[in-house]
Amino acid sequence: MIKVAVMGHGVVGSGVVEVLSQHVESIAKRAKEEISIKYILDIRDFPDSPFADRFTKNFEDIVNDDEVKVVAEVMGGVDPAYDFTKRCLLKGKSVVTSNKELVATKGAELLEIARENNANYLFEASVGGGIPIIRPISQCLAANDVIEIAGILNGTTNFILTKMIRENMSFSDALSMAQKLGYAEKDPTADVEGHDACRKICILASLAYGKHVYPQYVHASGISNIALEDVAYAASWGGVIKLIGQVKKLDDGTLDITVEPMLIEKNSQLANVDDVFNGILVRGDSTGDVVFYGKGAGKLPTASAVVADIIDCVKHLKARKYLYWTDGDGSIVKPYEQTVYPIYIRVGSTLDKQQVFDKVTSLFRNARSIVRTNAPENEFAFVTDDMTVSEQMNALAALENDGIKVLSKIRISDL
């Protein structure tokens, strides 16, 4: 029998305990060992839990118990999860986690400590919740050069955008609904401003390209400035707006990696990934496009991925899973200002339409206007051909100088 500990008894942690205790026999068959929870770490009391006798508030109980071979860290955040994970790995215990913030900021170091201590550090649940994506990239697609990964990696923002697109609901109403349904946190910043999706695309990029890509080097913007007007223009252009995390390997070896709202065509595989679902497209040189779709968050889907990692660790107690990347710095990331893509822009101006159009066509490459029904007289929207971000910024500044107010600017994706 293998003893494990679960650190954190929130949504995911309680799900891990539930899955482990409700599937004892089938898990034992798959792991070839019975798995038993020896400790559950949480600062809160759970006197009514059927596992009340396993709770501890003291991490030392876990790290100093040689019987505990595998630890699930499902606490979230960097502190104290980083310290706890490091100390468990240094003791040769394998650690599995759903903690995307920790993997995205400390992954290279923790993977190295795991390697040095002949332990495993697995994090299938950190991206895409219950969707298998880490193992497929590191194992099943290992024969491929990954050309590109692009995905809807955040369920909360996808829910909000879906409400805006399908029900014409404003951003703030859709956010309130997401909060009521328990998808969005009381402080929704990490989701709506793209930080959560950024951590996830950094993890996928690090895995695919073998060097740690830190979130601080990656341009991330969210959906809080998306208006219903933009949703309507996107529809008349022939697509939808989605928050996309994307990484592409460029010919010069750098990565075009960003998180931002993008206009994507209706017939793209990601255009119909709606509500809280996630969809991740991996473009391999041999496989072509492979798309992963499913529930990217939630108690049981995420717990299922954590427990699968626990089983994998139990099966590999004396061996190491090849899941590894080395440390990196910002040099692998193409500076955002140098990235190239076409854009959609919406402006407001009291100048007459022809004057605005003339100005726009002189500043932007191949600008074509798009229309929406019931647009006010002073609104004008257009799409362009490829431009570098710095060219875009200069042209936008020139518009503002001429009294033309830039209301929105959204990347047009080639997905």
Contacts to ligand HSE by CB under 6 A: 129, 154-156, 191, 196, 296-297
Q: How far is the CB of 24 from ligand HSE (least distance, A)?
A: 27
Which residues lie closer than 8 Å to 56 by C-beta, 6 or more apart? 39, 40, 41, 62
C-alpha distance across the termini of the chain, in Å:
48
Report the alpha-carbon distance of residue 220 to residue 243 in Å, rounded. Answer: 10
Cβ(405)–Cβ(345) below 8 Å: no
Question: Least distance (Å) from ligand HSE to the CB of residue 98?
Answer: 8
Residue 144 is given by DSSP the state: S
Candidate list 38, 163, 200, 321, residue with the active-site label: 200
Burial class (CB in 10 A: 0-12, 13-18, 19+), 26: exposed
Nearer to ligand HSE, 69 or 199 (CB): 199
Q: Copy the structure tokens of residue 79.
A: 């502190």
Structural tokens at position 385:
């051909």
φ/ψ of 157, rounded to 5, equals: -70, -30
In whole angstroms, how far apart are CA 159 and each of 156, 182, 227, 261, 369? Answer: 5, 12, 15, 14, 29
- Residue 233 or 277: the one with the smaller Cβ distance to ligand HSE is 277
Give every CB contact of residue 245 below 8 A, 6+ residues apart in sequence.
150, 151, 152, 153, 154, 197, 198, 200, 201, 204, 258, 259
Q: From the CB of 280, what's the least distance to ligand HSE, in Å?
A: 12
CB of 162 to ligand HSE, least distance (A): 13
Q: How far apart, in whole angstroms, are the C-alpha atoms of residue 227 and residue 25?
A: 51
Cβ at position 106, least distance to ligand HSE in Å:
17
Cβ proximity to ligand HSE: between 191 and 230 the closer is 191
Task: Provide, rounded to whole angstroms, the least separation between the CB of residue 183 and ligand HSE.
Answer: 6
When the beta carbons of 188 and 342 are compared against ligand HSE, the nearer one is 188
Residue 299 annotated to the active site: no
By beta-carbon proximity to ligand HSE, the closer residue of 129 and 239 is: 129
**Backbone φ and ψ of 376, nearest 5°:** -65, 155
Whole-angstrom CA distances from 363 to 101, 331, 358, 367, 369 are 40, 31, 9, 9, 14
User: Catalytic positions, please?
Assistant: 200
